[in-house]
Chain A
């Protein structure tokens, strides 16, 4: 159980400037505190301010899990999602301004100009993901819904919703013992903590018609999770009935309750959708259908193989590329192609074709322990294969923004008027940087990175970007980091939405100690 730091206050005062929600600090023992981040002091320690504290507080960073700034919102969002990825996984927001056989210079969006040895750079992405970014998170619960299809849980939710609290009271209430909810948001992830399946985590109206959808799932023990893709929630409209007082009954109460392992209930939950039923060893794809008359059906999408080997107690990255207009869907797991399929409902004139744009996660078994993080939704440029599958040891690979053109060779230099000189097998080319989606540096020429010991703080940016390093000092607006590849860096915090302290590779340390 998460324990709360209970604070008795005489009066509730505004925490921060009225334009932004307060910052939130989470501790390694589960405590959490709203307030105002003031910077990093010697220790290193985090300096914290609350108006109900007599003086500022300092917390040793070794005791901290997350700092969520401004409710997960940037003070100034980054204008561009272009980034440079380093060999340690950092994604520095910014654009390359110089490149030669030894060095690469980045004009960062948050730390000025940075010059690195070329072998420290893994990827340059002037237009990453091949298209417009629609969503990256979850840095806050905003835009997400939690909906129960289990009758008991539904009543609990309605009761909680009926308690209309003011924002400040809500903040105070969250400092107290929080109500146990099946889906809980913490840091940059959603956690499933319920012993009773049937509550879905929903992100509505975010998936474009031609999209790449990527997310990380971590789990403990057996995995049994239904992922609804392109759901339209066009469920059967039950005929209006009146309760004893003559008021129309809520149609949700008439919906059949969720039944674990019963795919026939899925259309009444998600409407028209593809449902990926993911298990530790295999996967089944269903197409749920609701026709024009409201008749519901489920069809299993036939595939040659439904084998997965993702095991227990682990984490995986799922990527779905979908093109609704051409009814083409491809699934990648950990950057490896798994399966491709089309919509079986195309042959049925009465059935609606897939047109939904929502995503949902629905655990299927009791006592499941699941974490959802790093959700990225972007327009897809049609790139047929995972970019990582094109990596070769001795050549750089360029992928162009049209999603099809590609070239292997060597990036020579960045010329004036923002063109990249690239030497292919059959000649040298000057390629406009704004026509390049990604440049992957040759695998075999990258630095073999050894993670440093000691605390490594991760800064997450909005909409994209992540920089890590040992915190040295700073105030609310800037932070000085000792970066493992770039040395001392001064980061401007205006686009930072989260500090992650003590980020362990063990997926369980973020979770409730009772698990």
Chain B
């Protein structure tokens, strides 16, 4: 329950307000975190109080900061530390006996002990967006079916009765198609075609996502088969969605003839297309035929799927006593990382394989993933971390201590030691529940 109702509002709440969430209750407080000292006392400037409030940090669940990041793109380099923390960086500038020297987006240049690193990924970027939102309904409905059965609301298309829409979305070979479905119809009936050649003939080559009273199905139409074939199905009927809505993500790899289905953030598994002649169409089509009420499709987005890094990070580790390097072209080598040369750019990684005496010099721009040999490392072993600091983009670091003074955050990391972090890079600080 927010505290706003019981207090006289002296100042309008700042539009750029931090938010503190309390642990014991579901209360929250907006304001500006001015400082956090080593005694765990937060000075909190509330718009409802002339003097800063003194909050006890151990009574809060988290503080979410209002600062907006300069860029929403993740940092191109991601270190996964041996304790699971994620450290974003822009460049690895060198390697010394003490560890790797990296320019981080959050704390400037730091030295990361090798034994503290589990893996490093290079070239991390957000996937290229091909299409986002339904911005112009006419592009979907002109000349197709009965356009008047569609209405647009924000980034949603709402169908009343039988409605068809289609668009050439320039689907790349491998793509992620995401959308939300919601309905107040008693019997929703969706058929969303993808890799659709949009030819309008009866025998086409495409996939469809179907949702109706029978549940969810992924179907395959081929010109050679008189009927669509079910590739996968789930007995999840409309009545089982209490909110009458769910989110769908289809991760389609036409190059490998397979796709992954994710419903409300949970993977439902990988489907392999057993048929030849993988659909090559670039369109998306939507068919709704609920008999009463409305059916909505919203937030339709298409991004290019390049999951090479996700795949490489998920590969078997192999011999943990060896470093391992995987390139963007899928070459993989076990061996020893000898050094990293930061200049001239791009950084060069010097690697010696287990199978050969020669060394390998590879530009960092051509490396996907580096696994580091497991070596015992305790770091600063006193005490368990009390906080988790989460950064804009992707990144999180645990901290035993956290002192905030103005724009600077001083944190003691269990592996990296003392860090001076830019407050503007922090999205939130969360207390770690014991």
Please list the residues of chain A having a beta carbon within 8 angstroms of any beta carbon in chain B. Answer: 303-305, 307-309, 336-340, 382, 384, 389-390, 400, 402-408, 424-432, 435
Contacts and interface: CB of A to CB of B under 8 A. Distances in A.
19 contacts: A304-B234, A304-B269, A307-B229, A307-B230, A307-B271, A337-B272, A339-B272, A402-B319, A404-B324, A405-B334, A405-B354, A408-B329, A408-B330, A424-B331, A429-B355, A430-B356, A430-B357, A431-B355, A431-B356
A307 B232 contact: yes
Contacts of A402: 318-319, 334
A305 B271 contact: yes
B360 interface: yes
Contacts of B261: 304
Interface residues of B, number: 39
A305 B234 CA distance: 9
B377 interface: no
A307 B353 CA distance: 42
B332 interface: yes
Interface string B127-169: 0000000000000000000000000000000000000000000
B382 interface: no
B361 to A, nearest CB: 7
Contacts of A426: 327, 360-362, 366
For the complex of A and B, the 5 pairs showing the least CB-CB separation, nearest first, are A304-B269, A309-B274, A305-B232, A429-B356, A305-B271
B51 interface: no
Contacts of B231: 305, 307
Contacts of B256: 389
Majority SS at the chain B contact face: strand
Nearest to A337: B272
Most buried by B among A308, A339, A390, A402: A402
Contacts of A425: 327, 329, 331, 366
Nearest to A425: B329
A435 B355 contact: yes
A400 to B, nearest CB: 6
Nearest to A308: B274
Nearest to A305: B232
B257 interface: yes
Contacts of A308: 274
B220 to A, nearest CB: 9
A69 to B, nearest CB: 40
Interface in B252-286: 256-258, 261, 268-272, 274-275
A406 B312 CA distance: 13
A404 B355 contact: no
Contacts of A424: 331
Contacts of A309: 229, 274-275
Nearest to B335: A405
Contacts of B357: 430
B232 to A, nearest CB: 4
Interface in B174-205: none
Contacts of B268: 304
A241 to B, nearest CB: 44
B368 to A, nearest CB: 13
A404 B316 contact: yes
A403 B272 CA distance: 24
Contacts of A304: 232, 234, 261, 268-271
Contact of B355 (A303, A338, A432): A432
B316 A382 contact: yes
Nearest to A303: B269
A427 B318 CA distance: 23
Contacts of B26: none
Contact of A427 (B274, B315, B358): B358
A407 B232 contact: no
B339 to A, nearest CB: 15
A167 B102 CA distance: 77
A427 B325 CA distance: 15
Interface string B84-96: 0000000000000
A482 B206 CA distance: 49
Nearest to A424: B331
A405 B366 contact: no
A404 B329 contact: no
Contacts of B315: 384, 404
Given A307-B231, A337-B272, A406 B361 contact: no
Contacts of B258: 337
B333 interface: yes
Contact of B331 (A307, A338, A406): A406
A472 to B, nearest CB: 41
Contacts of B319: 402
Contacts of B232: 304-305, 307
A115 B357 CA distance: 30
A428 to B, nearest CB: 7
Contact of B358 (A400, A404, A408, A430): A430
Given A304-B232, A425-B327, 5 more contacts: A307-B229, A307-B271, A338-B274, A406-B332, A430-B357
A327 to B, nearest CB: 14
Contacts of A408: 329-331
Given A304-B270, A307-B274, A427-B360, A405 B355 contact: yes
Nearest to A383: B316
